[in-house]
């Protein structure tokens, strides 16, 4: 597989654009900066808004429910979540590839007069252990952590997914906490997405070669088995349509039809934790 991970970076623009059709704070300002400063010669989809908004808001809902106030977001892209939660007093660490993280810092300097000191933006590749370890210096030892990612693992092979998951395991084994992710993309969701957004995945594959159906999970049992082998327990599974009533793009802008409805039914977010009394070395020895 192609090891040029920077080719994933433009997908952060693909998801930034539909967030402008939501009521998520700062997203219009963020995309305006991107439009003025980046190559946006990409096929962008307004009708992706319900999916992206649901993903964002469902993850936020689960963060709030957890009562954990220390967050590490992987491949944070151009999302405003870090700015919003750090302004609420959360310790927030974002890590992304060099091009995106540097742009993110410039965006924040443009749209926010006082960037919270508890918002830390790190350049790095989460498949590289040393880069991942950079995040630890910003974590408080006495507090658990939530690891969040939305839009990363779907672009990785299963071997690469395992590397990232093992790095997350190390963090949660040391600090305790949970992993909240929508990146366990099942194949049936990709089929729904293809029906709702004509040629979306085909066009995405023109942006990055890392959009392969073979890198998707078959079903929930596949998800549980894969991450269970690494040392995780799946605690909860949530469908995107749980937050349908909260979606501005659906309820105010009426961006919805039966096909989009199906994507909200098939897309999921899972919450995982490290299995009790299972050490990484024990898993490797099995």
124-177 residue pLDDT tens: 999 999 999 999 999 988 899 999 999 888 888 899 999 999 999 999 999 999
pTM of the full structure: 0.92
User: How many other C-beta atoms are found inside a 10 Å radius of the C-beta of residue 23?
Assistant: 15
Give the pLDDT of residue 190.
86
Q: Look-up: residue for tokens 């998707």?
A: 216
Give the pLDDT of residue 258.
97
Q: Look-up: residue for tokens 């964002």?
A: 56
Give the pLDDT of residue 11.
75
Give the pLDDT of residue 265.
96
For the chain, which ranges sit under pLDDT 50? 1-2, 277, 280, 283-284, 286
Length of the chain: 286
Q: Is the dihedral of CA 170, 171, 175, 181 positive or negative?
A: negative
Residue 101 vs residues 85, 144, 162, 282: alpha-carbon distances, Å: 18, 25, 23, 36
Q: Output the six-digit token pair for 189.
A: 């969701």
Give the pLDDT of residue 201.
75
* Torsion, Cα of 56, 60, 63, 64 (10° steps): -170
Give the pLDDT of residue 269.
97
Rounded percentage of the chain residues whose pLDDT exceeds 90: 73
Give the pLDDT of residue 12.
80
Give the pLDDT of residue 283.
47
Q: How far is the C-alpha of 53 from the C-alpha of 62, rounded, in Å?
A: 14
Please check whether residue 107 is in contact with residue 82, taking contact to mean a CB–CB distance below 8 angstroms: no
Give the pLDDT of residue 285.
53
Q: How far is the C-alpha of 171 from the C-alpha of 262, rounded, in Å?
A: 35
- The SS3 call for residue 112 is coil
């Amino acid at each position: 597989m192609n090891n040029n991970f920077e080719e994933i970076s433009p997908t952060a623009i693909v998801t930034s654009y539909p967030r402008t059709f939501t009521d998520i704070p700062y997203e219009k300002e963020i995309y305006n900066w991107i439009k003025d400063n980046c190559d946006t010669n990409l096929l962008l989809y307004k009708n992706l808004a319900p999916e992206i908004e649901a993903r964002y808001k469902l993850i936020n809902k689960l963060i709030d429910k957890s009562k954990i106030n220390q967050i590490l977001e992987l491949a944070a892209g151009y999302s405003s979540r870090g700015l919003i939660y750090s302004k609420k007093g959360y310790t927030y660490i974002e890590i992304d590839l060099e091009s995106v993280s540097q742009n993110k810092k410039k965006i924040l300097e443009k749209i926010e007069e006082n960037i919270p000191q508890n918002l830390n933006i790190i350049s790095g590749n989460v498949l590289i252990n040393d880069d991942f370890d950079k995040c630890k210096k910003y974590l408080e030892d006495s507090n658990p952590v939530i690891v969040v990612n939305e839009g990363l693992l779907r672009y990785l092979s299963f071997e690469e997914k395992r590397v990232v998951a093992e790095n997350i395991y190390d963090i949660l084994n040391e600090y305790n906490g949970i992993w909240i992710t929508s990146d366990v993309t099942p194949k049936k969701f990709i089929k729904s997405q293809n029906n709702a957004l004509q040629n979306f995945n085909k066009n995405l594959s023109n942006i990055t070669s890392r959009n392969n159906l073979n890198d998707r999970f078959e079903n929930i049992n596949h998800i549980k088995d894969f991450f269970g082998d690494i040392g995780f327990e799946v605690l909860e599974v949530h469908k995107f349509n749980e937050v349908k009533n909260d979606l501005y793009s659906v309820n105010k802008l009426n961006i919805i039809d039966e096909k989009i409805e199906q994507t909200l039914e098939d897309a999921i977010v899972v919450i995982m934790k490290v299995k009790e009394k299972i050490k990484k070395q024990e898993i490797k020895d099995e």
